[in-house]
Amino acid sequence: MDKATEILKRVRRIELRAKHLATENFAGQYQSGFRGQGLDFDDFREYLAGDDPRFIDWKVTARMNTPYVRRFKEEREQAIILAVDVSGSMHYASSVANVSKLDYAAEIAAVLAFSAAQAGDKCGLLLYGMEKPLYVPPAKGFKQTLRIVREIVAAEPGGHDQSLNETAEILIRTQKKAAIVLMISDFWGEPDRAALGKLNFKHELIPVRIVDPLELNLPNAGRVVLKDPESQEPMYFNLNKDEIRAAHAQAVSMHRNKWKKEFRRAGIDFLDLKTADPYIPELKNLFSRRSKKFSH
């Protein structure tokens, strides 16, 4: 099977599964969790007890000789940007998960893109962590969704981690209007408090952190040669040694906790996902948290 055929096959498989999940699981939850962020003027109505006096329209009140307030309706349409890390480490797949982090990310992105299309929202894409980042401006419709899935699946491996600051600059420069940015990555780079702050100030940032289970805990596999997925440098380990595996697990835990601390410091909601686990429950929890936040 040639490469183009393989890509089309993967796109089709992700499309069918994501479209079903978006329709069956998220039709209502997406709209309540990712509602529009603005208000449009709708009409005037007579003031009622309990109305916010800030919305009294004094010109209409004077003309009608009784208090009238401005009524607003929610601006439903908004932009969702899927910022997907396609650097070398995202192409990793262990025998435990049987799916690469990038394919896992592609399916999550597809579910979100289909949900946006069904809600009438615009959805865009930023692929970063490759030689030349790819930006697809937000647009409506299922044709846009299929392009987003195809671009993620076809992304070439071998890119290096891009700093969060570089990625933030691209998103701030290319997406002028405030948007919801779902950043899907393994976040193996170093945390950057300033970059997180400026990106979340311009847009609403929701990090989706993906990890393969074997990255958290190395197996007792004897002498192995591991290759850095981005530098391609070989590394030699004897994984029979408990202290080697324990030191690795501790280093990984400390690194992940640094990111978690910075997300929480900035007041940023985030998801932590393992490629061996279903992502649907966590996405539902995200939508539910956002829906409750908006209802208060």
- Are 128 and 174 members of one domain? yes
- Report, as an integer, the average pLDDT of 36-62: 72
The CATH number that applies at residue 126 is: 3.40.50.410
pLDDT, tens only, 76-95: 567 999 999 999 889 888 88
Give the end-to-end CA distance of the chain in Å, rounded to a whole number: 54
Which range marks the domain in which residue 176 is found?
Answer: 3-33+77-295
Query: What's the number of domains the chain is made of?
Result: 2
CA dihedral 181, 191, 91, 172 (to 10 degrees): 30
pLDDT higher than 70, residue 1: no
Q: Which of 45-54, 66-75, 117-126 has the highest mean pLDDT?
A: 117-126
Final residue belonging to a domain, choices 75, 98, 126:
75
- Are 58 and 192 members of one domain? no
Query: 0.85 cut: is pTM over it?
Result: no
pLDDT higher than 90, residue 237: no
